[in-house]
Structure 1
Amino acid sequence: MSMTALSVPPIEREDVHEFDDDRFHPGRVCVVTGGASGIGRAVVLAAAVNGLTVLATDVDEAGLAETIEHAERLAVADRVETVAADLEDDAALEAITDAARERGNVSYLANVAGLQHVAPLESFPLSAYDRIQRVMLRAPFVLTRHLWEDLEANDGCVGNMASVHGHYVTSDKVAYNTVKFGIRGLTQSIAAEGDGDVRAFSVSTGYVKTPLVTEQIPETAAQRGLEVDEVIEDVMLGQARTGEMMTPLEVANLFLFGFSGLASHLNGGDLLFDDGMTLTYE
């Protein structure tokens, strides 16, 4: 597999799974972080196609504009609003909350935003560690806290992007590994305190065809003394029972399933879609 094999065609409306759920309507708002690319963008589009009003947020303003262009192509742009915001900034988190409430009954929160830094533990930059913690673990907690009363009033649900790295770890990714275990703990805490009024779930996948993954391949190759193709085939897919990575839309469909009535008994649980990566061996 080469880097070109990691490209993903644009999402088409017919490829989005549409759920027969009377709670999926424009009066309900779904907040999505990381909405400028990858899985976050796919969740934005899938939620809009399913009839929800979506507030997409990201630090990448240009990427958010591209998300709107995709929404226009799918004829759902009227359901998507964007707010450019840095999840490390507490004032920005409050602004996201206020903007979501202005658009309707906040019922769903998808914490998808992610970043990566590859380095050995003994030299891992503290600034990178702190940023990953703030964006990928602290911000989901703060947004959930800010929106708690809304979610409680609207039979709401929080979906958190976890990972196989929230089940087991690989080297040189100490910050990412730590937050992914942490996001599963946050998910279970939300479920415990939601007391049936606020549900929560996490989604754990292996490697997905996103910029976050493709951008780390050269760095991982350099760290391990491998060629790019070797990283893809041996490191990323070596333990999986598949020769193909998931697409962002496949993950987005899982988020919409988790928000839907079909998942009414999914509370605190983790949707592990890893192609056998963590639970099988040769």
Structure 2
Amino acid sequence: MSQNNVTPPTVTRDNIYTFSDESFTDRNVCLVTGAASGIGRATALAAAGNGLTVAATDVDEAGLEGTVDRGTDLGLEGTITSIPGNLTVDDDLERIVEEAAELGDLTYLANVAGMQHIDSIDSFPMETYDRMHRIMLRAPLYLSKLCIPHFQGGENGEGCVGNMASVHGHYVTSDKVAYNVSKFGLRGLTQSIAAEGDGLIRAFSISTAYVKTPLVTAQLEDTAEQRGISVDEVIEDVMLGQSRVKEMMEPIDVANLFLLGFSDLGRHLDGGDLLFDGGMTLTYE
């Protein structure tokens, strides 16, 4: 597989899996972070494709507009509203939730936003660690805290939080300490929400191997340099070497899992993790 084969794909209407769920209506709002690209954009489109009203947030305003435009181009049943914001700023987090709640009954939260930095622990810049922690762990916690009262005040007092974890929330690879710690932490947040939700407010996480996203393509050269190998070797040996399924997931594949978890089909998924890793973490040679 070459680098060209991991180019982030465009979501089409046929890619979006639709669920028959009476809660998937425009009355209910799904807040999606990281919605300007990758899995976040795909999740916003999948939620709108299932009839939900979507509050899409990201620091990348132009990317958000691209998500809104794509939803319009696809003629999706639900609307997507852009709510730009910086997940490292508490005032922005509070405003994002307030604006999302103005769109309808805030019922679902998809914590997708993430970033990556490749460096060994002894060289890892702490300011980068702090930023990654705030975006990928602290913001999901604070957004959950802010959304839960809206869940409780909704028509059924129910709601659900979906967290984008990773195989790196199960086992780790070198030179990704901030990412590894954040993804392990997200699984702890997921279980904590479930422990306090009494079955009415659920939470789940999704752990995938490498997905065809801008975040993945952006780290190819850094990983190659860090390990002293070629970009193609990173793809074939590092990203797919331990996987039994020799292809990367697409963002919409992950987005459809978020909607599965939010749907009535996922009602027994509470604190659990959807491990879609092609056998990477649970098999060995």
**How large is the Cα RMSD of the aligned pairs?**
0.9
Pair 1:25 & 2:30 matched: no
Which whole-Å CA distance do the structure 1 matches of 2:8 and 2:224 have between them? 22
| 1:46-104 per-position Cα deviation (integer Å, ceiling 9, x unaligned) | 00010000000000111111111211111138610011101000000011011011000
Percentage identity across aligned positions?
A: 60
Which whole-Å CA distance do the structure 2 matches of 1:101 and 1:131 have between them? 26
Structure 1: gaps spanning 5 or more residues: none
Alignment correspondent of 1:169: 172
Say if 1:165 and 1:176, in contact at 8 Å, map to a contact too: yes
Superposition deviation, residue 151 in structure 1: 1.6
Alignment correspondent of 2:279: 276
Which whole-Å CA distance do the structure 2 matches of 1:97 and 1:77 have between them? 22
Q: How does 1:177-192 map to 2 (within 5 A)?
A: 177-192=180-195
Which whole-Å CA distance do the structure 2 matches of 1:153 and 1:138 have between them? 24
Pair 1:112 & 2:115 matched: no
Alignment correspondent of 1:266: 269
Superposition deviation, residue 224 in structure 1: 0.3
Alignment correspondent of 2:235: 232
**Change over 3 Å in CA distance of 1:78–1:160 after alignment to 2:** closer
Which of the residues 187, 193, 196 maps onto 2:196? 193
Superposition deviation, residue 147 in structure 1: 1.1
Superposition deviation, residue 8 in structure 1: 3.7
Alignment correspondent of 1:102: 102
Say if 1:68 and 1:77, in contact at 8 Å, map to a contact too: no
Superposition deviation, residue 150 in structure 1: 1.1
Alignment correspondent of 1:134: 134
Superposition deviation, residue 153 in structure 1: 3.3
Say if 1:40 and 1:112, in contact at 8 Å, map to a contact too: yes
Question: Aligned residues, how many?
Answer: 282
Normalised to the residue count of structure 2, the TM-score between the two structures is 0.97
| 1:204-262 per-position Cα deviation (integer Å, ceiling 9, x unaligned) | 00000000000000000000000000000000000000221000000000000000000
Q: How does 1:56-95 map to 2 (within 5 A)?
A: 56-76=56-76, 79-95=79-95
Which whole-Å CA distance do the structure 1 matches of 2:77 and 2:60 have between them? 18
Alignment correspondent of 2:224: 221
**Which of structure 1's runs of 4+ aligned residues deviate more than 6 A?**
none
Normalised to the residue count of structure 1, the TM-score between the two structures is 0.98
Structure 2: gaps spanning 5 or more residues: none
